[in-house]
Structure 1
């Protein structure tokens, strides 16, 4: 596995937030927010400026790594194809939850993952509003690192019976009858929601506040760090067909649950895709 300076990466995300993100929060000017593919898929000046700063930092910290940022891929989609073959890659979402950020909702984060030879080996989810990090390195557990320097190990909550489960279910990328079927099936659980921010969804999952998370659209900057984080916190994660979720996957769905038995029950009774 590549030698990773996780502290330097954490500091870099904080620097991007201090210099480029927080000054623009609730302070975006006319023309600072633009639509990408649809009205709920946005990019702001903060996204682009933060990604430029992070990229420059990665060139210093990890000069041999291929840099794959969400906004860079938006400009050059072919860049995404380099992830599967790269010996070392850094994948960045400069602002996860851009829709929330643009609306002035303080529910967004900065996400970074490190991929070595097709395997996610480290990840960080930084919350600029709380000034703390969720950090994971493969084999070392998942940790919440607070602004005062204290650390807290994150662990998944054991699964209750299906009717009492609480979780994340992002159904927005299913179509037609399949979406209706899943929404009907979700009546089997106690509560489901979507924060439109994978950064915070993964954090509350790994801290044991909810029991499951389901996503259909798989872009690496949204899910690599969080999936490894959940696995290191004790979760069982797999695509809908039961196969492992890997960095180059952009389809096939993703379901995360506290254990394989609860994963199977959710898959069979709720997420019958």
Structure 2
């Protein structure tokens, strides 16, 4: 089955509707009973996550009945679902709320993410911002675009390269290897700053829009990164695992680093992110 622009638009409509029905009405209105810990205090799930994923799953199964649906909360309930991704001819991977910790604490840095994988390759990526009601959308080989609620759109382009000391970026420290954490954090003093917004949807958006010169992550769950990596690449960025190999849907570790071009990537890898 081919993935057409109309298919991608239909997925975008589902994401917006799930946010309208399940997410936005609960923002800053969650009760204690609406929030639960998964693996630790910073790893949360809310009734908005589960409700939005349930809506998206139903919609995707109707739109693409032959596709494997992989959602973050579905995998939390059945980890074996994740292993099916590498053999799927067609799959849709969804993070119903990326940045749940922020969402649960009333911080408006969160988003909804979806990626379409065909033949083991990401062919479409979508990041929806419910607060701004706009999307970043990329099709492989067709560029990355910001699409607004009024129907207008603009092409996304990563920042121009700058010297290391002027680079702005994000570094997710939560899953850094413990034995290297102090060294890596000290190395970030070599750039202008390295922040963390605790939300890949926000960070990929900022990178593709030219607001950041780099990002890095160490844990690679597909719902967190497939959409953002494609969007960043289609916006012109150089993104690879720490060993320089391409990031693929089946990769769950090995770290990932993004920069405006290969030269910037290599300098960051050699001087800052040295593990």
Q: Same fold (TM over 0.5)?
A: yes
Gaps of 5+ in 1: none
* 1:37 match: secondary structure: strand
Superposition deviation, residue 147 in structure 1 = 1.2
Aligned residue number for residue 21 of structure 1: 23
Superposition deviation, residue 174 in structure 1 = 1.6
Aligned length: 273
Aligned residue number for residue 48 of structure 1: 50
CA RMSD of superposed structures (Å): 0.8
Aligned residue number for residue 84 of structure 2: 82
Superposition deviation, residue 27 in structure 1 = 0.8
TM-score by length of 1: 0.99
Superposition deviation, residue 3 in structure 1 = 2.0
Q: Choose which of 10, 19, 36 in structure 1 pairs with 2:38.
A: 36
Q: Does 1:154 align with 2:156?
A: yes
Does structure 2 conserve the Cα–Cα contact (< 8 Å) formed by 1:2 and 1:88?
Answer: no
Does structure 2 conserve the Cα–Cα contact (< 8 Å) formed by 1:215 and 1:254?
Answer: yes
Aligned residue number for residue 251 of structure 2: 249
Aligned residue number for residue 125 of structure 1: 127
Partner Cα distance (1:2, 1:250) in 2: 27
Superposition deviation, residue 58 in structure 1 = 0.2
Partner Cα distance (1:7, 1:119) in 2: 19
Partner Cα distance (2:31, 2:61) in 1: 30
Does structure 2 conserve the Cα–Cα contact (< 8 Å) formed by 1:216 and 1:254?
Answer: yes
Q: 1:219-268 CA deviation, whole Å, 9 max, x = no partner?
A: 00000000000100001111000111000100000000111111000000
Superposition deviation, residue 2 in structure 1 = 2.7
Superposition deviation, residue 173 in structure 1 = 0.7
Does structure 2 conserve the Cα–Cα contact (< 8 Å) formed by 1:13 and 1:126?
Answer: yes
Partner Cα distance (1:98, 1:2) in 2: 32
Partner Cα distance (2:131, 2:92) in 1: 23
Superposition deviation, residue 6 in structure 1 = 1.1
Does structure 2 conserve the Cα–Cα contact (< 8 Å) formed by 1:237 and 1:255?
Answer: yes
TM-score by length of 2: 0.98
Q: Choose which of 10, 13, 17 in structure 2 pairs with 1:11.
A: 13
Matches within 5 A, 1:42-191: 42-191=44-193
Superposition deviation, residue 175 in structure 1 = 3.4
* 2:194 match: secondary structure: strand
Does structure 2 conserve the Cα–Cα contact (< 8 Å) formed by 1:224 and 1:247?
Answer: yes
